[in-house]
């Protein structure tokens, strides 16, 4: 049986970074406590100055700048392209990573997942008219960057999300029609066990 939750940005708990260098608002995760035991985790981090990232051995990461001018990363000694708002970048959680801010503080959006437990697909959509797609992922996450995002799921009506709110559907076991109107990130997670 599928379970639908709407998570509001005002309710996200704030926690310290693993390396102590800043703080994160945790949006949602599948399991575990603190910074251990989860199969996947979605969060927003505030980065006030250039510096190192925490390592998450055994995980993959996809990071996207939400607010601010952007940043470049140094990943295992290799410099990335400039990461600008809503431009996702993937890297290994085991990598040694540091960031250089382009022009002041940023907020970023992070998906961290265990590839031995989940496959993940992340895409950013900008739909002024309803955009429809189909998903068979067991976990579907829709994260809003619009002031008002409309999300329709099959024939069950629709939900309205505010800026940085997240819709989470767990236990999907069929092909689900999804319609979104606004700017958002869609994440599909499928268990591979």
Shared-domain flag, residues 33 and 96: yes
- pLDDT for position 155: 79
Helix H, strand E, coil C: the string for 155-192 is CCCEEEECCCCEEEEECCCCCEEEEEEEEEEEEEEEEC
Angstrom distance (rounded) from CA 32 to CA 137: 21
If phi > 0 it is left, if psi is from -120 to 50 it is alpha, else beta; for residue 35 that is: alpha
Write out pLDDT tens, residues 136-179.
999 999 999 999 999 999 877 789 999 999 999 999 888 999 99
Q: Tell me if 3 is assigned to some domain.
A: no
Of residues 51, 43, 2, the one with CA closest to residue 25: 43
Q: Which residue's structure tokens are 């575990």? A: 32
Shared-domain flag, residues 44 and 62: yes
Number of domains making up the chain? 2
Shared-domain flag, residues 68 and 148: no
Q: Tell me if 44 is assigned to some domain.
A: yes
Q: Which residue's structure tokens are 């739909």? A: 127
At which of 92, 113, 134 does a domain end? 113
Q: What domain range includes position 99?
A: 13-113
Residues written for the chain? 193
Per DSSP (E only), the strands in 68-162 are 71-75, 78-79, 89-92, 97-101, 106-113, 118-135, 139-144, 149-153, 158-161
Q: Tell me if 145 is assigned to some domain.
A: yes
Write out pLDDT tens, residues 1-54.
689 999 999 999 988 777 666 778 999 999 866 666 799 999 999 998 899 998
Angstrom distance (rounded) from CA 170 to CA 109: 20
- pLDDT for position 154: 85
Q: Tell me if 7 is assigned to some domain.
A: no
- pLDDT for position 133: 95
Shared-domain flag, residues 91 and 17: yes
Angstrom distance (rounded) from CA 178 to CA 182: 13
Q: Tell me if 127 is assigned to some domain.
A: yes
Residue 130 has pLDDT above 90, yes or no: no
Shared-domain flag, residues 20 and 89: yes
Instruction: Give the global pTM.
Output: 0.93
Pairing mode, strands 23-29 and 78-79 = unpaired
Helix (H, G, I), strand (E, B) or coil at 77: coil
Query: Which CATH number goes with the domain that contains 181?
Result: 2.60.120.10
- pLDDT for position 129: 86
Shared-domain flag, residues 18 and 109: yes
Q: Tell me if 136 is assigned to some domain.
A: yes
At which of 113, 130, 165 does a domain end? 113
Shared-domain flag, residues 43 and 68: yes
Q: Tell me if 5 is assigned to some domain.
A: no
């Amino acid at each position: 049986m599928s379970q639908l939750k709407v998570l509001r940005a005002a309710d996200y708990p704030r926690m310290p970074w693993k390396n102590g260098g800043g703080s994160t608002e945790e949006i949602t995760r599948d399991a575990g406590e603190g910074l251990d035991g989860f199969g996947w985790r979605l969060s927003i981090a505030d980065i006030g100055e250039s510096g190192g990232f925490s390592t998450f051995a055994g995980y993959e990461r996809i990071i996207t700048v939400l607010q601010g001018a952007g940043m470049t990363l140094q990943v295992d000694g290799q410099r990335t392209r400039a990461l600008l708002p809503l431009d996702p970048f993937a890297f290994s959680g085991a990598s040694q990573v540091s960031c250089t801010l382009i022009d002041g503080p940023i907020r970023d959006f992070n998906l961290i997942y265990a590839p031995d437990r989940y496959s993940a697909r992340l895409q950013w959509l900008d739909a002024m008219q309803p955009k429809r797609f189909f998903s068979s992922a067991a976990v579907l996450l829709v994260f809003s960057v619009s002031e008002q995002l409309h999300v329709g799921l099959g024939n069950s009506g629709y939900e309205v999300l505010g800026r940085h709110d997240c819709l989470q559907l767990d236990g999907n076991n069929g092909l689900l029609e999804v319609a979104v109107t606004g700017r958002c990130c869609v994440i599909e997670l499928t268990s591979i066990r």
